[in-house]
Amino acid sequence: MINSKIIKIFSEISEYYAMDDVPFKPQAYEKAVRVIESMEEDLEVIYKAGGQKALTDMPGIGRGMAEKIEEFIKTGRVKEHERLKKKCPVDLEHLTAVEGLGPKMIKTLYQRLHVKTLADLEKVIKAGKIGKLPRFGSKVQENILRGIKFVKGGQGRILLGHALPLVRKIEKRLAELKETEKVVVAGSIRRMKETIGDLDILAISSEPKRVMDFFCAMPEVEKILAQGETRSSVHLHNGLAADLRVVSQESFGSALQYFTGNKDHNIRTRKIAQGKNLKLNEYGVWRGKKQIAGRTEEEVYQAIGLPYFEPEIREDRGEIEAALRQAQGKPSGLPKLVKYEDLKGDLQMHSTWSDGAYTIKEMAEAAKKLGRQYIAITDHGSAKLRIANALDEKRFLKQWQEIDKVNKSLSGIKILKGVEVDIDDKGRPDGLSDAFLVKFDIVLASVHFKMRMPKAEMTERIINAMKNPHLDIIAHPTGRKIQSREEMALDMEKIMAGAKETGAILEINAYPERLDLNDENIRKAVAAGVKMSVGTDAHSIEHLHYLELGVAQARRGWAERKDIINTMSYPELIKFLKNQG
Give the tens place of pLDDT for each residue, 334-368: 999 999 999 999 999 999 999 888 999 999 999 99
In 3D space, the residue among 62, 64, 60, 16 whose CA is nearest the CA of residue 39 turns out to be 60
Query: Structural domains in the chain?
Result: 3-154 (1.10.150.110), 158-246 (3.30.460.10), 251-327 (3.30.210.10), 340-580 (3.20.20.140)
| Per-residue burial over 286-320, b = 16 or more CB atoms within 10 Å of its CB, e = otherwise | beeeebebbbebebbbebbebeebbbbbbbbbebb
**Measured between alpha carbons, how far is 29 from 15 in angstroms, rounded to an integer?**
9
CA distance 272 to 278: 9
User: In Å, how far from its chain's centre is CA 561?
Assistant: 21
- Please name which of 412, 391, 416 lies closest in space to residue 404, comparing C-alpha atoms: 416
* Whole-angstrom distance, CA of residue 563 vs CA of residue 117: 44
E strand map for 326-367: 345-346
User: 122 with 147: CB under 8 angstroms?
Assistant: no
CA distance 335 to 315: 14
Is residue 118 classed exposed, middle or buried when 0-12, 13-18 and 19+ CB atoms within 10 A define those classes?
buried
Choose among 310, 307, 315, 303: nearest CA to 274. Answer: 303
Residues 6+ apart with CB under 8 A from 237: 1, 4, 220, 221, 222
User: How many whole angstroms separate alpha carbon 34 and alpha carbon 540?
Assistant: 8
Cβ contacts of 41 within 8 Å, gap of 6 or more: none
Using an 8 Å Cβ cutoff, are 546 and 161 in contact?
yes
Q: What is the dihedral of CA 360, 363, 369, 371, to 10 degrees?
A: -90
Q: Burial level of 394, CB count in 10 A (0-12/13-18/19+)?
A: exposed
According to DSSP, the β-strands at 380-381 and 414-422 are: parallel
Q: Distance of alpha carbon 545 from its chain centroid, rounded?
A: 11
For residue 277, whether the previous peptide bond is cis, meaning omega lies within 30 degrees of 0, is no
Q: How far is CA 111 from CA 106, 163, 375, in A?
A: 9, 36, 48
* Alpha-carbon span 320 to 450, nearest angstrom: 41
H or E element, residue 200: strand 198-205
What whole-number distance in Å separates Cα of residue 380 and Cα of residue 370?
A: 24
CB atoms within 10 A of CB 126: 10
pLDDT value at position 387? Answer: 57
Q: How many helices (H) and strands (E) does the chain have?
A: 24, 18
Amino acid letter at 16?
Answer: Y
Q: Read off the amino acid at residue 197.
A: G
Q: What is the pLDDT of residue 100?
A: 76
| Torsion on CA atoms 454, 460, 461, 466, rounded to nearest 10 | 150
**Number of CB atoms found within 10 A of residue 446's CB:** 26
Report CA-CA distances (Å) from 478 to 18, 548, 559: 27, 20, 18
Distance of CA 126 to the CA centre of its chain: 34
pTM of the predicted structure, to 2 decimals:
0.85
In the chain, which residues have pLDDT < 70? 1, 38, 40, 153-156, 384-388, 581
Separation CA 299–CA 306 (nearest Å):
10
Return the pLDDT at 36. 83
Name the residue among 531, 535, 528 with its Cα closest to residue 562: 531
528, 426, 532: which is closest to 476 by C-alpha? 532
Which residues does 28 contact at the CB level (< 8 Å), separation at least 6? 62, 64, 65
Angstrom distance (rounded) from CA 106 to CA 504? 40
The answer to whether 553 and 515 have CB atoms below 8 angstroms apart is yes
